[in-house]
Amino acid sequence: MTSSTFTVLSPVTGQPVTEVALASVEETDAAIERADAAFPAWRDVAPGERARLLRAFAAVVDAHLEELAQLEVLNSGHTIGNARWEAGNVRDVLNYYSAAPERMFGRQIPVPGGLDFTVREPLGVIGVIVPWNFPMPIAGWGFGPALAAGNTVVLKPAELTPLTAIRLGELALEAGLPEGVFTVIPGKGSVVGERFVTHPLVRKICFTGSTGVGKQIMAGCADQVKRLTLELGGKSANIVFADADIAKAAATAPYAVFDNAGQDCCARSRILVQRSAYDEFLGRLETAVGAMKVIDPADDASEMGPLICAKQKETVLGYLDGVEAAFSGSVPDSAGDGFWVPPTVVLTEDTSTPIWREEVFGPVVAVMPFDDEADAIRLANDTEFGLSGSIFTRDVGRALRVARGVQAGNLSVNSHSSVRYWTPFGGFKQSGLGRELGPDAPNAFTEEKNVFIAQD
Ligand code: NAD
């Protein structure tokens, strides 16, 4: 029995695209039970065979890359360039972790009187809960390493953006993954998501989303001491020192915050600029923001599309209510009923203002001057979040000091490096718990077992 359906709207036009059935608690339970039933056989698949199946899955994703990308443009309003990268990221993550089954190493630890070794054992059913801002990559960061480590996966996409996840579930079967190993269950957070948390057969929750919901899930997991990874919000700083290549810093800053219309947990939504370079930086930033191509995301040249939904647009505009923008970019003339907001730059010296403190999750950036290195680190760390950040300077010593001083999980110097699947990703403070991606990600979907064998 299906409890209800959800109408997916195009963010570009605001018009309906399709209806998606939302799973009930009973349907969720049935899917979890199928995933649990599929677990022993999947765990026991020979490592080389599991590797081959993951590579086959990657190849099928690659063969459908354009289809998946177009689907994301339709469902999420992502620029086609981004959407192609996102589908490619799923393929790359699967290929990367396809090397893991044959490398799930334990350790041999010296002990007196015998032999001690450790093994990594999969947990069972993993519940992956995905937000709407990057539906494909965030799904893949969960299911790729979880499957590689020998777990089965149930995955809940966000209500707003289920289409590519549903397609990925079909492609997994097409690639030869056995039934029940990877199941996509579209549904409400309060129904399917919560059931992942309360169902005893789900051994770990891999959640990406807002800090508020993450805290609720963490509290819910306590009941069964359920394993948990949280990737939550951010309010990252882009710190520009006067000794930096100011032209490069200003030219790249808009893309570090307005990419995906600012709906990015890593958005550098606070720009800190050393006072002596402040005017030059702002002048160049205005030129760069004005030149951003905010056009139909299906156009190959598009650099920014609309927001995901009317509610998100309203939330973002709420932050701008009564706030004077220093300058802003454009939206298409044909914006119509789509959920467009122009890239907007606000200047502030007030660290208590919501635009400086809260995750706007839209194309809004706040710029603030600072005096010296200590001041920059203090301001960057004056937040409950700690996900990412950038540092622009030509002084290598300063780059090292500031990179060590900023409390965030992912920093880049003289660049705004996006997430790389082969390096660890995650947040300090209230930006998260645990790490995804990188060489160790499969271990996070295992228990480490220690075995001692007496020699006499
Ligand atoms: P959200 O927290 O509202 O929803 C995320 C997912 O959780 C959705 O699938 C939703 O249906 C589900 N959910 C909602 N309530 C639930 C509940 N009670 N129990 C279980 N599941 C529930 O977040 P969103 O609005 O979809 O996404 C935006 C947020 O995600 C932003 O705060 C952003 O910073 C964060 N995010 C973080 C990262 C990261 O890696 N740190 C990456 C992307 C997005």
Quick one: tokens of 109? 């630890």
Claim to verify: residue 143 and residue 273 sit in the same structural domain = no
Claim to verify: residue 168 and residue 253 sit in the same structural domain = no
The answer to whether residue 426 is domain-embedded is no
Domain residues for 395? 237-420
* Ligand 1 site, residue 156, Cβ cutoff 6 A: yes
DSSP β-ladder status, 237-240 and 364-370: unpaired
What percentage of the chain reaches a pLDDT higher than 90? 98
CB contact at 8 A, 425 and 142: no
424-440 in b/e burial notation, b at 16+ Cβ within 10 A? bbbbbbbbbebbbbbee
* Ligand 1 site, residue 435, Cβ cutoff 6 A: no
User: How does the average pLDDT of the chain come out, rounded?
Assistant: 97
CB contact at 8 A, 257 and 268: yes
Q: Does residue 418 surpass a pLDDT of 80?
A: no
| Ligand 1: residue whose CA is nearest its atom 9 | 158
Q: How many domains does the chain have?
A: 2
In sequence order, what are the beta bridge partners of 410? 388
Range 124-128 average pLDDT = 99
Summarize pLDDT for 193-244 with one digit per residue, the tens.
999 999 999 999 999 999 999 999 999 999 999 999 999 999 999 999 999 9
The CA-CA-CA angle for residues 46, 48, 53, to 5°, reads 95
Quick one: tokens of 292? 């951003």
124-139 in b/e burial notation, b at 16+ Cβ within 10 A? bbbbbbbbbbbbbbbb
* Ligand 1 site, residue 217, Cβ cutoff 6 A: yes
DSSP β-ladder status, 108-109 and 114-122: antiparallel
- Three-state secondary structure call for residue 265: coil
Nearest atom in ligand 1 to the alpha carbon of residue 427 is 41
Summarize pLDDT for 252-270 with one digit per residue, the tens.
999 999 999 999 999 999 9
CATH classification of the domain holding 413: 3.40.309.10
User: With left for phi above 0 and alpha for psi between -120 and 50, is residue 389 left, alpha or beta?
Assistant: left
Active-site residue, 206 included? no
Give distance in angstroms: CA of 213 to centre of ligand 1: 7
- Three-state secondary structure call for residue 250: helix
Claim to verify: residue 280 and residue 207 sit in the same structural domain = no
Residue type, 299: D
Claim to verify: residue 246 and residue 282 sit in the same structural domain = yes
Q: Does residue 334 surpass a pLDDT of 90?
A: no
For residue 333, what pLDDT is reported?
85
Which of the residues 72, 86, 159, 265 is marked catalytic?
Answer: 265
| Ligand 1: residue whose CA is nearest its atom 11 | 189
Active-site residue, 72 included? no
* Ligand 1 site, residue 190, Cβ cutoff 6 A: yes
Claim to verify: residue 119 and residue 213 sit in the same structural domain = yes
pLDDT band, very low/low/confident/very high, at 417 (cuts 50, 70, 90): confident
The answer to whether residue 341 is domain-embedded is yes
Claim to verify: residue 245 and residue 226 sit in the same structural domain = no
Claim to verify: residue 174 and residue 56 sit in the same structural domain = yes
For residue 1, what pLDDT is reported?
44
Q: Does residue 126 surpass a pLDDT of 80?
A: yes
The answer to whether residue 159 is domain-embedded is yes
Quick one: tokens of 324? 């004077």
Which of the residues 86, 159, 231, 303 is marked catalytic?
Answer: 231
Distance between CA atoms of residues 3 and 109, nearest Å: 53
Q: Does residue 32 surpass a pLDDT of 70?
A: yes
Q: Does residue 3 surpass a pLDDT of 70?
A: no
| Ligand 1: residue whose CA is nearest its atom 42 | 265
* Ligand 1 site, residue 228, Cβ cutoff 6 A: no
Task: Name the residue among 50, 143, 172 with its Cα closest to residue 102.
Answer: 50
* Ligand 1 site, residue 263, Cβ cutoff 6 A: no
Element (H, E) at 410: strand 410-413
Residues 6+ apart with CB under 8 A from 49: none
Claim to verify: residue 104 and residue 203 sit in the same structural domain = yes
- Three-state secondary structure call for residue 275: helix
CA dihedral 426→211→206→108, nearest 10 degrees, is 40
How long, in residues, is the chain? Answer: 456
Claim to verify: residue 267 and residue 416 sit in the same structural domain = yes
Task: Name the residue among 138, 163, 192 with its Cα closest to residue 8.
Answer: 163
Claim to verify: residue 438 and residue 408 sit in the same structural domain = no
DSSP summary character for residue 159: T
Claim to verify: residue 378 and residue 306 sit in the same structural domain = yes
What percentage of the chain reaches a pLDDT higher than 70? 99
Range 143-167 average pLDDT = 98
